[in-house]
């Protein structure tokens, strides 16, 4: 250590004073922030990118800019599982029963589990392309049901609905809205709606809402 200090032209006492210096408030804040980000990342099953993470942090009372969130996510190895998302095309050309549009673009809810919307997307991941069915609670805009698979099947939407129903506290009479895709108009989907005592709503033809 003495040779190193001599080489750098600093005293040993000066070096040890520097080594034992207290952590800066900024460093402590970053550590606290990253710990919260890891918690949120796990809570939402790794689907948050930097923009959604920033919004989630703001809801927790943190005022942070997008670049700082992006930098800390990179430093902490936090990557979104849903890197790029696209709207999937569901088949609405069928003779299956459809529901009336009861949501009618009223995207606000007074309490959790009152109104839910479901949709299918396909996403690019590190392993390739996957289909994902999601159910969003309009109160708080939180994903409460998520199912992924290699094909866009009715089982995909059923699994997402099952999870959403359980996580929302099994609400009777809650509205569940979707498009008119064959997955949502299937006999199995209607039976599940009836079993859970939910109210089904579907978008008008040619309209996603």
Claim to verify: residue 114 and residue 12 sit in the same structural domain: no
Domain that holds residue 59: 2-75
Claim to verify: residue 21 and residue 118 sit in the same structural domain: no
Claim to verify: residue 91 and residue 171 sit in the same structural domain: yes
Claim to verify: residue 92 and residue 155 sit in the same structural domain: yes
Claim to verify: residue 174 and residue 71 sit in the same structural domain: no
Claim to verify: residue 192 and residue 101 sit in the same structural domain: yes
The residue among 12, 46, 75 that closes a domain is 75
Claim to verify: residue 6 and residue 56 sit in the same structural domain: yes
Q: Note the maximum CA span of the chain.
A: 86
DSSP 74-97: HHTT---S--EEEE------S-S-
Q: What is the mean pLDDT of residues 42-71?
A: 85
pLDDT: is 149 or 93 the higher one?
149
In this structure, is residue 80 part of a structural domain? no
Q: What is the mean pLDDT of residues 32-54?
A: 83
Claim to verify: residue 115 and residue 180 sit in the same structural domain: yes
Number of folded domains that form the chain: 2
Specify the residue for token string 């609400």. Answer: 171
> In the predicted model, what is the mean pLDDT of the chain?
81
- pLDDT tens track for 143-175: 999 998 888 889 999 999 999 999 999 999 999
The pLDDT-based confidence of 118 (bands split at 50, 70, 90) is very high
């Amino acid at each position: 250590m003495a040779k190193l200090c001599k080489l750098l032209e600093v005293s040993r006492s000066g070096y040890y004073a520097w080594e034992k210096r207290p952590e800066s408030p900024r460093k402590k804040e970053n550590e606290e922030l990253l710990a919260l980000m890891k918690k949120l990342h796990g809570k939402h099953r790794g689907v948050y990118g930097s923009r959604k993470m920033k919004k989630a942090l703001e809801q927790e009372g943190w005022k942070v800019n997008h670049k700082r969130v992006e930098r800390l996510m990179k430093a902490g190895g936090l990557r979104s599982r849903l890197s790029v998302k696209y709207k999937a095309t569901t088949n609405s050309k069928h003779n299956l029963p459809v529901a009336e549009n009861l949501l009618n673009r009223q995207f606000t809810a007074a309490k959790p589990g009152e109104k839910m919307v479901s949709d299918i997307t396909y996403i690019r991941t590190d392993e390739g392309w996957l289909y994902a069915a999601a159910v969003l609670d309009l109160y708080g805009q939180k994903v409460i049901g998520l199912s992924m698979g290699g094909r866009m099947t009715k089982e995909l939407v059923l699994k997402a609905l099952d999870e959403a129903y359980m996580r929302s506290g099994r609400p009777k009479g809650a509205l569940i809205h979707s498009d008119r895709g064959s997955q949502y108009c299937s006999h199995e989907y209607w039976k599940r709606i009836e079993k859970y005592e939910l109210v089904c709503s579907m978008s008008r033809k040619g309209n996603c809402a």
